[in-house]
């Protein structure tokens, strides 16, 4: 038996490998990204970055119908993109097993919303498993494939940030299974015309009843009887928090979360006058328990937003459990006094910032200075919303900057109060997100004669999630060279008349192009191209401030560069951080910034 310290993501990848997965597809997204990166290191598994999550799932559907066990991975908001195939896949069923791994992000460490993926299982009538540590992430991945094939259904494996990115001990001695099922044509089952889909919906509803029975016999649901007065129902990482906060409480830890194992829950409930439900985000388990007519305390006490931890769980339930048990605090030990400590609000915050030399900095400095209305999407550049750049007006999801720009432009076109905004709208998005979800918006823009400018921030990688390749980079997840998507040719092909490429390290030339294209009454695309500074590490040529020339005007600080600091009244460049992008020198009117050169 091997004993390894694995993250939840690594454990899923190992489980998938041992389960015999031959095809895997994903679009990168924190906290799910490392699953495919890890799986791609194993031999004999085809792994790909798909252009978006919808395509990833469609690739997965094809592969499982083709007889290969298949893993598809994404973050929670990715499933919104993949929701179309996801909602009909359970009708079609699988051939070899298909497991969709979705990682939620309670607390929004790196996300735009806090949606709860468990509802996607209920909505699609597909089973959902949820591990509480890496050991279970490994085992439940194996179980998920077995269930998928036994019940002819896709299985949703739900992770959360603290499962994906916590390392816990995994014991495993697995050898790789070999699954290779024959493909047989079955149009009634796999072509969802209404007449066939009606038949399949009945099958789906019947299957859900069978899955509920399976849930009741599932070996990874665990009853831990301790106190005869306090019963907690929980799942996922919340099990760990509940166990730590109330060590004497009895716990029903669910791993099969949907459909709910009703008999298991009722048996557990019969020991207690009421149940406590410890779960992150929405009252999913709580609603299930209440629908069964059980008395359950959950979201009236435990927050529906943000990430939980042992302190929050303890504080939320201590008084009630004290009443149940007569034990002070219900067995929860409150944290020591914070009195001698400065309140968090008194400390300067440390928001993430764009790196020194980041190609996005110069571009958003210009957009902000030109007072353009910028509709943007998700990537490192979203950080430019913060002062001093303050370069973004609105951002919702990947690719949305294009469609929103179109909508804004059309609203302003017939507005009196916003007439001054006409012709000032710019949409911005990344190279990876343009391919993910921006292309169709651009087609709409050309088709519907919209005089806006779209800026593609082409840094040659998917930077925010840790430098994954995409169709524009010329390299695959498996390290093969491939044909790189030509962004200029693509934009021209959809009918954009003016496609221009700028270097965002050259402020003057970039500004000129932006001004021209914004003024021109046509759809145009500017490709702001320079590789991410972390991707192509070049020898740095740091700049220095000539103190006698610096007059302390702080103009250079408008760039929000981490390498630029005020010391006394003058600017100072941190030589360890500066990479020599020269933007500050381009801004300085006193000519006080220059390349350090050999003398430093």
Residue of 19, 25, 30, 254 that binds another protein (CB under 8 A): 30
Q: Which stretch binds another protein (CB under 8 A): 115-123, 202-210, 492-500, 557-565?
A: 557-565
Q: Which stretch binds another protein (CB under 8 A): 62-70, 261-269, 378-386, 517-525?
A: 378-386
* CB 377, CB 404: distance < 8 Å: no
Does residue number 444 form part of the binding site for another protein (CB under 8 A)? no
Does residue number 248 form part of the binding site for another protein (CB under 8 A)? no
* CB 5, CB 135: distance < 8 Å: no
Integer Cα distance of 282 and 141 in angstroms: 24
Residue of 66, 329, 388, 423 that binds another protein (CB under 8 A): 388
Taking the complex as a whole, the smallest distance from the CB of residue 110 to another protein amounts, in Å, to: 3
Residues between 296 and 355 with contacts to another protein, criterion CB under 8 A: 309-311, 314, 335-336, 338, 340-342, 344, 346-355
| Binding string, residues 446-465; x marks residues near another protein by CB under 8 A | ------------------xx
Taking the complex as a whole, the smallest distance from the CB of residue 227 to another protein amounts, in Å, to: 16
Which tokens is 346 given?
């008194």
462 secondary structure, DSSP code: B
Which tokens is 350 given?
């440390």
Residue of 7, 40, 117, 450 that binds another protein (CB under 8 A): 7
Does residue number 182 form part of the binding site for another protein (CB under 8 A)? no
Backbone angles phi, psi at 491, to 5 degrees: -65, -40
Which tokens is 332 given?
């929860």
Which tokens is 364 given?
């958003």
Integer Cα distance of 108 and 213 in angstroms: 35
Give the CA diameter of the chain: 82
Does residue number 600 form part of the binding site for another protein (CB under 8 A)? no
In order of 73, 237, 356, the CA distances from 160 in angstroms are: 13, 8, 31
Q: Which stretch binds another protein (CB under 8 A): 29-37, 454-462, 516-524, 586-594?
A: 29-37
Taking the complex as a whole, the smallest distance from the CB of residue 153 to another protein amounts, in Å, to: 31
Taking the complex as a whole, the smallest distance from the CB of residue 252 to another protein amounts, in Å, to: 16
Task: Name every residue whose Cβ is closer than 8 Å to that of residue 40 and which is 6 or more positions away in sequence.
Answer: 24, 47, 477, 478
In order of 344, 506, 525, 559, the CA distances from 365 in angstroms are: 31, 12, 18, 6
Q: Which C-beta is closer to another protein: that of 358 or that of 405?
A: 358
Interior/surface letters 425-436, b for 16+ CB within 10 angstroms, e for the rest = bbbbbbbbbbbb
Integer Cα distance of 130 and 141 in angstroms: 10
**Sites of contact with another protein (CB under 8 A):** 3, 5, 7, 30-31, 33-34, 109-110, 133, 162, 165-169, 237, 240-241, 243-244, 309-311, 314, 335-336, 338, 340-342, 344, 346-355, 380, 383, 386, 388, 464-466, 534, 557, 560, 562, 564-566, 576
């Amino acid at each position: 038996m091997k004993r390894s310290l694995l993250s939840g993501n690594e454990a899923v990848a190992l489980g998938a490998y041992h389960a015999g997965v031959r095809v895997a597809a994903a679009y990168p997204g924190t906290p799910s990204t490392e699953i495919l990166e890890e799986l791609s290191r194993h031999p004999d598994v085809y792994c790909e970055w798909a252009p978006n999550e919808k395509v990833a799932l469609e690739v997965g559907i094809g592969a499982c119908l083709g007889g290969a066990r298949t893993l598809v991975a994404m973050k929670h908001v990715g499933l919104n993109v993949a929701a179309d195939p996801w909602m009909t896949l359970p009708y079609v069923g699988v051939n070899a097993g298909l497991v969709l791994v979705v990682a939620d992000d309670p607390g929004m460490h790196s996300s735009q919303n806090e949606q709860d993926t468990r509802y996607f299982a209920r909505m699609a009538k597909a089973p959902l498993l949820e591990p509480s540590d890496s050991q279970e992430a490994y085992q439940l991945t194996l179980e998920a494939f077995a269930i998928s094939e036994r019940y002819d259904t896709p299985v949703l494996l739900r992770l959360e940030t603290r499962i994906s990115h916590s390392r816990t001990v995994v014991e495993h001695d697995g050898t790789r299974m070999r699954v290779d099922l024959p493909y047989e044509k079955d149009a009634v089952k796999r072509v969802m015309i209404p007449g066939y889909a009606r038949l399949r919906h009945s099958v789906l509803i019947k299957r859900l009843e069978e899955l509920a029975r399976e849930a009741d016999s599932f070996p990874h649901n665990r009853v831990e009887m301790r106190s005869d007065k306090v019963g907690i129902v929980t799942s996922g990482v919340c099990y760990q928090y509940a166990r730590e906060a109330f060590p004497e409480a009895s716990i029903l830890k669910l791993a099969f979360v949907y459909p709910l194992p009703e008999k298991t829950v009722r048996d557990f409930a019969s020991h207690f006058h009421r149940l406590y439900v410890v779960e992150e985000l929405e009252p999913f388990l709580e609603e299930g328990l209440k629908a069964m007519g059980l008395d359950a305390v959950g979201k009236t006490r435990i927050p529906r937003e943000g990430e939980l931890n042992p302190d929050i769980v303890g504080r939320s339930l201590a008084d009630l459990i004290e009443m149940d048990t007569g034990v002070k605090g219900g067995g929860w030990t409150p944290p020591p006094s914070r009195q001698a400590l400065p309140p968090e609000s008194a400390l300067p915050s440390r928001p993430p910032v764009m790196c020194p030399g980041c190609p996005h900095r110069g571009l958003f400095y210009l957009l902000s200075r030109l007072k353009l209305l910028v509709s943007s999407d998700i990537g490192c550049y979203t950080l430019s919303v913060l002062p001093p750049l303050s370069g973004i007006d609105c951002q919702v999801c990947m690719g949305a900057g294009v469609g929103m720009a179109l909508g804004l432009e059309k609203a302003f076109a017939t507005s009196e109060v916003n007439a001054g905004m006409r012709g000032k709208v710019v949409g911005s998005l990344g190279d990876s997100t343009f391919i993910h979800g921006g292309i169709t918006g651009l087609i709409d823009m050309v088709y519907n004669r919209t005089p806006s400018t779209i800026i593609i921030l082409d840094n040659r990688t998917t930077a925010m999630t840790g430098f994954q390749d995409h169709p524009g980079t010329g390299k695959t997840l498996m390290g093969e060279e491939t044909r790189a998507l030509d962004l200029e040719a693509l934009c021209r092909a959809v009918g954009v008349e003016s496609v221009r490429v700028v270097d965002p390290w050259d402020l003057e030339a970039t500004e000129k192009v932006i001004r021209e294209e914004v003024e021109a009454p046509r759809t145009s695309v500017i490709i702001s191209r320079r590789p991410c500074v972390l991707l192509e590490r070049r020898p740095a040529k740091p700049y220095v401030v000539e103190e006698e020339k610096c007059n302390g005007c702080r103009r250079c600080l408008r760039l929000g560069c981490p390498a630029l600091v005020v010391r006394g009244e003058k600017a100072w460049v941190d030589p360890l951080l500066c990479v020599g992008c020269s933007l500050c020198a381009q801004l300085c009117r006193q000519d006080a910034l220059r390349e350090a050169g050999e003398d430093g």
